[in-house]
Amino acid sequence: MLSLVLRRVLAVVPALLGLALAAAVVAALAGPGWTQALGAALAALPATLALVLPALALGTGLGALLGVMGGAGAVLGWVGPAMPGFLLAAVFAATLAKAPVLLGLAALALPAAAQATTLAGRARAGAEDTVLLAARGRGMDGSALLWRLALPLGLSAAMGGLRSAVAGTVTAAVAVENLSGTGFSGAGRLFVEAARAGDAGMAVAALAGLCGLAVLLGALGRALHGWIDPRARMA
Amino acid sequence: MHEPAGTDPHWRDGPWQKAGQRLTAHRPAAAGLTVLAALMLAVAAGLVAGGGPVGAALAAGHQSLSFALLAGLGGAALGLLWGGAAVALGERAERMMMTPAAALTGLPLALALPLAGGLLGPERGLAPMAVVAALIAAPAVAVIARDELRALLRREFLSAVQAAGIPNGRRLRRHILPNTVLPLAAAAWTALPRALMAESLASLLGLGLPEGVTGWGTAIGAAARAGDAVALAGPALLLALTLWALHGVGDGMRLAFTASTPGGRR
Amino acid sequence: MSRPDDRAPLRVEGLSLLTSRDILLDRLSFAIEAGEVLALSGGAGAGKTLLLRALAGLAPKGVTVLGDIHIRGRRLLVTQDGALDPFRTLGAQFAELLSRQSGLDERTALRRAAEALERFQVPAAARRLALHPHELGEAMRWRAALALAMAAEPALLLADAPAAALDPTQRVRLLSDLAAWTREAGTALLLAGRPQADPIRSGLARSNLADRRLVLAQGRLEVPPAEPTPAPSPAEPAPSGPPVLSVRDLRVAFPLGRNWRGEERWLTVVDGLSIELAEGETLALLGETGSGKSVLARAILRLVPPVGGQVTWLGTDLAAAPPETMRRARRDLQILFPDPLAAFDPLMTIGAQLAETLESLHPSRSPANSAARLADALEEVGLPAAVLDLHPGALLPAEAARAGLARALLPEPRLLVCDEPAATLDGSERADFLALLQAIRRRRRLALLYATQDAAEGLRIGRRALVLLLGRIVESADSAILTAGARHPYSRALIAAAGLAPPALHGDPPSPLRPPTGCALRLRCPLAHDGCAQVPPTLDPVAPGHRVACHVAQDDAQNDAQVGGKAP
Ligand code: SF4
Residues contacting residue A87 through CB under 8 Å, at least 6 positions apart: B200, B220, B236, B239, B240
State in Å: Cα C465 to ligand 1 middle: 20
How many angstroms separate the CA atoms of C389 and C48, rounded? 35
What phi and psi values does residue C288 have, to the nearest 5 degrees? Answer: -75, 175
Please tell me which residue, B3 or A87, carries the higher pLDDT value.
Answer: A87
Amino acid C208: pLDDT: 66
Given a cut of 60, whether residue B260 has pLDDT beyond it is no
Residue type, B187: A
- Whether the pLDDT of residue B61 is over 90: the answer is no
Q: What is the spatial distance between Cα C357 and Cα C410, in angstroms, rounded to a whole number?
A: 8
CB spacing of C149 vs A228 below 8 angstroms: no
How much is the pLDDT for A176?
A: 87
Ligand 1 near C550 CB (within 6 A): yes
Taking an 8 Å cut-off on Cβ atoms, the answer to whether B243 and A84 are in contact is yes
Report all structural domains of chain A as residue ranges with CATH numbers, in order of start. 2-234 (1.10.3720.10)
Give the ranges where C414-529 is alpha helix by DSSP (H): 427-444, 455-461, 479-485, 489-498
**Among C519, C540, C542, residue to substitute to test ligand 1 (most atoms within 8 Å of Cβ):** C519
Ligand 1: does its nearest atom lie under 6 Å from the Cβ of C552? yes
- The pLDDT of residue C66 is above 80: yes
Helices of type H across chain B? 15-25, 27-49, 52-88, 91-104, 112-120, 126-153, 156-163, 168-170, 177-189, 191-204, 216-226, 229-253
- Measured torsion, CA atoms of residues C234, C238, C243, C248, in degrees rounded to the nearest 10: 90
pLDDT of residue B4: 41
Closest chain B C-alpha to C111 CA, distance in angstroms: 44
- The closest alpha carbon to C211, from C201, C219, C203, C221, belongs to C203
Interface-testing mutation among A129, A138, A227, with chain C (most C C-beta atoms within 10 A): A138
Distance separating alpha carbons of residues C364 and B12, to the nearest angstrom:
31
**Residue C542 host element (H or E):** strand C540-543
Q: Is residue C528 within 6 Å of ligand 1 at its C-beta? A: yes
Rounded to the nearest angstrom, the distance between the alpha carbon of C256 and the centre of ligand 1 is 29
Tell me the one-letter amino acid at C373.
Answer: R
Digit-coded pLDDT (tens) for C282-300: 999 999 888 889 999 999 9
User: Which pLDDT band, with edges at 50, 70 and 90, does C343 fall under?
Assistant: very high
C-alpha C518/C-alpha C534 separation (Å) is: 5
Q: Give the three-class secondary structure for A121.
A: helix
Q: What pLDDT is stored for residue B262 in this prediction?
A: 39
Instruction: Report CA torsion sign: C435, C436, C442, C446.
Output: negative
Which domains occur in chain B, in start order? 25-44+54-259 (1.10.3720.10)
Is residue B31 within 8 Å of residue B248, measured between CB atoms?
yes
Contact B203, B209 (CB under 8 A): yes
DSSP state of A146: I
Closest-CA residue, ligand 1 atom 4, reads C519
| pTM over cut 0.90 | no
Dist. CA C437–CA C102, nearest whole Å: 55
Report the sign of the C-alpha dihedral through residues C198, C204, C207, C212, in that order: negative
Classified by CATH at the fold level, domain C4-222 comes out as Rossmann fold (3.40.50)
Ligand 1 near C434 CB (within 6 A) = no
Does the CB atom of residue C489 touch ligand 1 within 6 A?
Answer: yes
Three-state secondary-structure class, residue C373: helix
Mention the CATH class of domain C281-294+315-470: alpha beta
- A221 against C319, higher pLDDT: A221
In the 3-class helix/strand/coil scheme, how is C22-68 assigned residue by residue?
Answer: CEEEEEEEEEECCCCEEEEECCCCCCHHHHHHHHCCCCCCCCEEEEE
The angle, 0 to 180 degrees and rounded to 10, between the axes of the packed helices B112-120 and B191-204 is 50
The whole-number pLDDT of residue B263 equals: 36
Starting at the earlier edge strand, list the strands of the sheet with C472-478. Answer: C333-336, C415-419, C447-452, C282-286, C464-469, C472-478, C546-548, C540-543
Average pLDDT of the residues in C152-181? 88
Its sign, for the CA torsion A6, A8, A10, A13, is: negative
Specify the DSSP element, H or E, that contains A167: helix A162-179
Q: Are C28 and C220 in contact (CB under 8 A)?
A: yes
Q: What mean pLDDT is predicted for residues A228-232? A: 88
CA distance A135 to B180: 40
Give the SS3 label for residue C500: coil
Q: Tell me how far the alpha carbon of residue C528 lies from the centroid of ligand 1, in angstroms.
A: 5
Q: How confident is the model at residue C428 (pLDDT cuts 50, 70, 90)?
A: confident
What are the residues of chain A with a beta carbon less than 8 Å away from any beta carbon of chain B?
A: 15, 78-79, 81-84, 86-87, 89-91, 93-95, 97, 163-164, 166-168, 170-171, 174-175, 178-179, 191-192, 194-198, 200, 203-204, 207, 210-211, 214-215, 218
In this structure, are residues C456 and C430 in contact, taking their beta carbons and an 8 Å threshold?
no
pLDDT of residue B7: 40
Whether the CB-CB separation of B146 and B87 falls below 8 Å is answered with yes
Tell me: pLDDT of A203 over 80.
yes
Give the pLDDT band (50/70/90) at residue C104: confident
Cα(A184)–Cα(B158) distance, rounded to whole angstroms? 57
Cβ of residue C287 lying under 6 Å from some atom of ligand 1: no
pLDDT of residue C228: 52
- What burial letters (b/e) apply to C97-129, b meaning 16+ CB within 10 Å? bbeebeebeeeebbebbbebbebbebeebeebb
Q: Is a pLDDT exceeding 80 seen at residue C483? A: yes
Nearest CA in chain B to C387: B2
For B179, the closest chain C residue by CA position comes to C347
| Euclidean distance between CA atoms A158 and C474, whole angstroms | 49
Chain B partners within 8 Å of C341 (Cβ): 263
Q: Is pLDDT of C352 > 70?
A: yes
Cβ(C270)–Cβ(C252) under 8 Å?
yes
From chain C residues 105-164, the ones with a CB under 8 A of any chain A CB are 132, 134, 145, 148-149, 152, 158
Give me the pLDDT at residue B191, please. 93
B107 with A179: Cβ contact below 8 A: no
Left (φ > 0), alpha (ψ -120 to 50) or beta: where does C14 sit? left
How does pLDDT run across C175-208, given as a tens digit for each residue? 888 988 999 988 999 988 865 544 334 344 345 6
Distance A71 CA to ligand 1 centre (A): 61
pLDDT band with cut points at 50, 70 and 90 for residue B50: low
Burial class (CB in 10 A: 0-12, 13-18, 19+), B223: buried
What residue spans in chain C does CATH classification 3.40.50.300 cover? 4-222, 281-294+315-470
Whether residue A134 lies within 8 A of chain C, CB to CB, comes out as yes
Is C97 at the interface with chain A, CB within 8 A?
Answer: yes
Mutate to test the interface with B, among C325, C326, C345 (most CBs of B within 10 A): C345
Q: Which long-range contacts (CB under 8 A, 24 or more apart) does C159-162 make?
A: C159/C78, C159/C189, C159/C190, C159/C191, C159/C192, C160/C48, C160/C49, C160/C52, C160/C77, C160/C78, C160/C79, C160/C80, C160/C192, C161/C48, C161/C49, C161/C80, C161/C192, C161/C193, C161/C194, C162/C78, C162/C82, C162/C191
Distance separating alpha carbons of residues B10 and B256, to the nearest angstrom? 17
Nearest CA to ligand 1 atom 5: C550
Q: Are C303 and B175 a contacting pair at CB < 8 A?
A: no
Mutation test of ligand 1: which of C551, C554, C556 has the most ligand atoms closer than 8 Å to its C-beta? Answer: C551
Residue B61 CA: distances (Å) to CA of B69, B178, B216: 12, 34, 6
Q: What is residue C190's three-state secondary structure?
A: strand
What's chain A's Rg over C-alpha atoms? 20
Q: Is C45 on the interface with B (CB under 8 A)?
A: no
- pLDDT (average), residues C319-337: 88
Q: Which of C393, C318, C363, C295 has its CA nearest to residue B166?
A: C363
CB of C522 closer than 6 angstroms to any ligand 1 atom? yes
d(CA C401, CA C340): 5
pLDDT attached to residue C419: 92
Residue of A19, A91, A162, A169 for testing the chain B interface, max B β-carbons within 10 Å = A91
Q: With an 8 Å Cβ cutoff, is A131 touching chain C?
A: yes
d(CA A54, CA C397): 53
DSSP C212-237: EEEEEETTEEEPPPPPPPPPPPPP-P
Residue C537 Cα: closest atom of ligand 1 = 1
- Across A100-107, average pLDDT: 82
Q: Do A163 and B204 touch (CB under 8 A)?
A: no
Does ipTM exceed 0.95?
no
Tell me the pLDDT tens digit for each residue of B198-236: 999 998 888 888 877 788 888 888 888 887 888 888 888
Least confident of A49-63, C45-59, C354-368, C394-408: C354-368
CB atoms within 10 A of CB B160: 25
Percent of chain B at pLDDT exceeding 90: 33
Q: Report how far residue B106's alpha carbon sits from residue C402's, in angstroms, rounded to the nearest whole number.
A: 48
Contact check, Cβ <8 Å, C132/A139 = no
Please report all neighbours of C, defined by 3+ CB atom pairs within 8 A.
A, B
Looking at residue C235, what is its pLDDT? 62
Nearest atom (ligand 1) to Cα of C519: 4
For residue C76, which residues of chain A lie inside 8 Å, CB to CB? 137-139
Ranges A56-70, C137-151, C319-333, C462-476: which has the least confidence: C319-333
Q: Which atom of ligand 1 is nearest to the CA of C552?
A: 7
Q: Residue A139: which of C76, C85, C134 has the nearest Cβ?
A: C76
pLDDT band at A105 (very low <50, low <70, confident <90, very high): confident
pLDDT tens, residue by residue, A139-167: 888 788 888 899 999 999 999 889 889 99
Residues B115, A207: C-beta atoms closer than 8 Å: yes
Q: Which among C292, C306, C251, C252 has a CA at the least distance from the CA of C467?
A: C292
